[in-house]
Each structure stands twice: as C-alpha cells, then as structure tokens.
Amino acid sequence: MRSIGRITKTYGFDGAVVVKSKTGITGEPEQGEPVFVVTDGIPVPFFTREAFSPAPDTLILSFDDYLTAESVVHLRGCEVLYEGAGESGDDLMALKGFTLTDTTTGLSGIIDDFMQNPGQVIAVTIIKGREVYIPLHTDLIVSVDRGQRAITMTLPVGLLSLND
C-alpha cells in the first residue's frame, strides 16, 4: 500500500472529501475499489463510489454508504492509503539509487533498499557509510525530482542519530 495523501476537507454535500498530496497523486481508485483511511493508527477500508483528480496534487473521493458532508467530517486530517491493481512495490524500487537529502541537517545518502511495514514504507539509506532507516511519509517529503534522481525531506531532529 502507498499513501495517496491526507484528507483536508469535505467536498460538496454528498459525502465527498478532498485528499491532498505533497508529492502528487499517481493513480486513482476505480469505483468499488477500497482505499484505506488511517483512523486511530488503524487502516480502515472505505469502498470508493467516485474518484477524480482536478489537479496533480488533489483527489476528490466519495465513499459507499457515506452520503452527507456530516458523515465524513470526522475523517479530516486522516491519511489515505491505496493499493492499485497490480501494485507490488515496483514503484518503490524505481526510487532505489536516489539521493535522499535532509533539509534540517544537510546530510544526504543513497537509497539502498526498502522495508514495508503496515501503513509505512522505510527507506534503507546509506549515509556516511552506515545504514539509516528513514520513513517515507508524505508529511516529511518536500520534493521528488525523478530527473535528478533526488528526494528532499525535512526529517525530525534526532531521527538520523537513532542508530548511534
């Protein structure tokens, strides 16, 4: 599963929500496919009634059985995960070898591998000759430049020294 983004607000009056992504929306769920809304740390399946993307960083989603704005307002701020048809982590493997740079410390390293945990992907990055585990979370990613093969992130203070 990969993160689509976070629900920022309701949309219209028929129970739709706006999902925003800092890295851009890639792929939309089809009608009847589940997306997983992370509530209280648990990914809960919601079946898609309709999905469309009016902008590269925005997805409008509506769910079966949620027909009013009031029924989805409690989802604001929740992360939305999606596993598209045939997705197997190949998208992640395309990021192998990218340079990952932290804007907080200025440190950078090369992504060597990935670990998938429930609801979270960890980049195994080689920084100064040692393996560092960095969560690839949309809240931490500033930009992804596929042409330069670079990912810029703002990591929490102390994250890079957890393995010291």
Each residue's pLDDT tens digit, 104-157: 888 899 999 888 766 677 888 998 888 888 888 777 888 888 788 888 998 888
Token pair, residue 107, equals 């440190």
Average pLDDT over residues 71-99: 76
> In sequence order, what are the residues at sequence separation of 6 or more whose Cβ sits closer than 8 angstroms to the Cβ of residue 51?
28, 29, 30, 31, 59, 60, 61, 62
Confidence of residue 86 (pLDDT cuts 50, 70, 90): very low
User: So what CATH class is 2-82?
Assistant: mainly beta
CATH topology for 91-161?
SH3 type barrels. (2.30.30)
Are 107 and 127 contacting, i.e. CB atoms less than 8 angstroms apart? yes
Alpha-carbon distance 164 to 161, whole Å?
5
Nearest to 41 by CA among 114, 120, 115: 120
pTM above 0.75, yes or no: no
Alpha-carbon distance 151 to 102, whole Å?
9
Q: Sign (positive/negative) of CA torsion 86, 90, 92, 98? A: negative
Task: Report the pLDDT value the prediction gives residue 84, as an integer from 0 to 100.
Answer: 62
Percent of the chain with pLDDT strictly greater than 70: 88
Are 94 and 51 contacting, i.e. CB atoms less than 8 angstroms apart? no
Strands, sheet with 108-117, edge to edge from the N-terminal-most edge strand:
130-135, 120-127, 108-117, 99-102, 150-153, 141-145
Answer left, alpha or beta for residue 3, where phi above 0 means left and psi between -120 and 50 means alpha. Answer: beta
Each residue's pLDDT tens digit, 19-73: 998 777 766 788 888 899 998 888 899 999 999 988 888 999 999 989 999 999 9
Q: Domain ranges in the chain?
A: 2-82, 91-161
What is the three-class DSSP state of 43? strand
